[in-house]
Amino acid sequence: MQTSPAQDEQAGPVHVGAPLAPLTTLRLGGPAARLIEAPDAGTAVDAVRATDESGEPLLLLGGGSNVVVADEGFTGTVVRMTGGGTAIERRPDGSVLLTAEAGEDWDAVVAATVAQGLGGLECLSGIPGLTGATPVQNVGAYGVEVSALLVDVDLYDRRTGTVRTHVPAAELGLGYRTSVLKNTDAAVVLRVRFALPGGGASMPIAYAELARTLGVDPGSTVPAEVAREAVLELRRGKGMVLDAADHDTWSAGSFFTNPIVDEAAVPDPAMPRWPAGEGRTKLPAAWLIQHAGFAPGHEGPGGRVGLSTRHVLALTNRGAGSTGDLLALAREVRAGVLDRFGIALHPEPVLVGCTL
């Protein structure tokens, strides 16, 4: 990676021809024409504004945990959010307002709240990436979604060139792994605010697998630190906690979302499912993949990529793969599920310069 001798007048350090693969959890993708590091909201706004004024393509990059970058890389400017800090405000009703800058590591934020005796975010432990991405995806795990705790966000509106503060969560269209911020580049998340209950108990344990691990009934609460350790244990068992030494964790997390279909379209009455609104049902993508004939460890082209040996929802880079290899495997899995069940799977990661 070549660093220019001077900084952009309106931004942070500028790197020319910066490799993007090391900045993603998949360790895949070509270089960026330019990369600007933004350690705070002001720097991010300046970098985005300057890039927009130049007419260059722009890619916002956080922890690289939910992105698939083309082998050819990105021909424009990448603005990478880093750090920024957090703040906690205790409110008269006993609850806590947590403010976190977009560039903060998400799991570090969760760990810090639990360490301070605060429950609420513990079921979202171990999720890689940065805090700014959590409302974009409405990140969720083990029965808890960001939407349950999100108060508001601060955004940079690229269309107007202005910063909008305290945009209510209700205006973000938060749904299953989606929001109005997803699949658009019109706004940049600068910081987020969460309302935490203020005590040390976890959120009610809603996920059956987690309840079994904890030895409690669904709906019970436990100390937040106990729930966090159980969640991390479950995620490690599925290869969903990034380990630089373990290629089985080199993934973008769950590659496909759980499809939501009309109840009448469920192909097998014995298929596990969850209610998803009136007349709608959410099906487990992992079940569909396995019952379409794809076992854990199923290999893609040349064995360079494959399904995780522990969780068929994760497509992994075995160390020598390419984005082309990964997409070929994804297409194979998608086609197999469609052929077996007539249900189309959709990717969860953002595809940059490539398509499925």
pLDDT in tens, the chain (356 residues): 333 323 444 456 789 999 999 999 999 999 999 999 999 999 999 999 999 999 999 999 988 988 999 999 999 999 999 988 999 999 999 999 999 999 999 999 999 999 999 999 999 999 988 999 999 989 999 999 999 999 999 999 999 999 999 999 999 999 988 899 987 889 999 999 999 999 999 999 999 999 999 999 999 999 999 999 999 999 998 888 888 899 999 999 899 999 999 998 898 888 899 888 889 999 999 999 999 999 999 999 999 999 999 989 999 999 999 999 999 999 999 999 999 999 999 999 999 999 99
Choice among 147, 254, 308, 322 that is catalytic = 254
pLDDT, residue 4, reads 34
DSSP state of 126: T
The predicted model scores a pTM of 0.83
pLDDT, residue 115, reads 97
Distances 66 to 61, 124, 164, 348 between C-alpha atoms, Å? 10, 15, 25, 8
Q: Please name the amino acid found at residue 301.
A: P
Distances 107 to 194, 266, 345 between C-alpha atoms, Å? 15, 36, 28
Q: Say whether 254 is catalytic.
A: yes
The backbone torsions φ and ψ at residue 238, rounded to the nearest 5 degrees and listed phi first, read: -100, 5
Work out the number of other CB atoms within 10 angstroms of the CB of residue 114. 23
Whole-number Å distance between alpha carbons of 80 and 66: 14
Choice among 80, 158, 177, 235 that is catalytic = 177
Distance of CA 247 to the CA centre of its chain: 19
Q: Which of 301, 331, 329 is nearest to 315 (CA)?
A: 329
Distance of CA 193 to the CA centre of its chain: 17
Choice among 101, 104, 145, 348 that is catalytic = 348
